[in-house]
Amino acid sequence: MRSNQLGFPRRRLLAGFWLLIACLAGSLVGSEAASVPDWYRKQAKDQPTFPELLANPLAYDGRIVILGGTVVKAKNTEGVFRIQIVEKPLSKAWGSYRPKHEETSTGCFYAIIPGFVNHSDFVPGTEITIAGTVKGAQPGQLAERSTLFPVVRTSWMRIWNAPHRMSEGRTASAGVGPGMGSMGMYGPMGMYGPMGMYGPMGMYGPMGMGPWY
């Protein structure tokens, strides 16, 4: 069998090449599906249904949940970024946890992110999936009716169809927009991702003691 100058058989080199291609393809598929990290899925395995959470948010304080829906409004207030989201059931096909289009909502919740956030990606109608820790409830308005919305301290999120990015011809669903990809602030290596300071094991994440909320 012929070898290169370093003595490695060509078959082994070809096998390594195709393994690299497979890994790259897998990472692209993973980016498109944007699967919720395993840690959150395991922790949220027995999470309450949204009607249960809506009926008594305080009973589930500190629980890890995965929720999603469409943005109603978002704003920076009192040192945090607060997103009001109309809850929608999530599709677990391919592990995406994307909000289902055809499903009706049973209510709203707030997703809270520490610090100042540019809200250009969070215009009304934007589809979003979040994971984080239930932190009580705050008053809100729904169909001209005052009610309490569950609050989730968000440590992972996925924006699916940011309208301004779609109008620019970019694929928002692949997470390639600013801050949303694998290397962005909400990606696996970012500050809000699984490995970041606001992720599962970070000082401000579900297991941490962050003082911001």
- The 10s digit of each residue's pLDDT in 73-99 is 999 998 999 999 999 999 987 778 999
Of 197, 194, 144, 199, whose CA–CA distance to 30 is shortest?
194
Q: State yes or no: pLDDT of 1 exceeds 80.
A: no
Q: State yes or no: pLDDT of 212 exceeds 80.
A: no
CA end-to-end span of the chain? 65
Of residues 6 and 159, the one with the higher pLDDT is 159
Lowest mean pLDDT among 42-51, 83-92, 148-157, 189-198: 189-198
Tokens for 26?
Answer: 């897998």
Mean pLDDT over 186-202 rounds to 55
**Which letter does DSSP use for residue 36 in this model?**
P
* Residue listed under structure tokens 């809000």: 192
Q: Would you place residue 178 in the very low, low, confident or very high pLDDT band (cuts 50, 70, 90)?
A: very low
Give the pLDDT score at 27.
39
Please state which CATH number belongs to domain 34-157: 2.40.50.140
Give the pLDDT score at 2.
52
Give the pLDDT score at 121.
85
| Nearest-angstrom CA–CA distance, 95 and 61 | 26
Q: Which run of H or E residues covers position 92? A: none
Q: State yes or no: pLDDT of 71 exceeds 90.
A: yes
Give the pLDDT score at 197.
57
Alpha helices in 34-170 (DSSP H): 38-43, 50-55, 163-167
* Residue listed under structure tokens 């059931």: 89
Question: Could you tell me the pTM of the whole model?
Answer: 0.66
Tokens for 212?
Answer: 């911001």
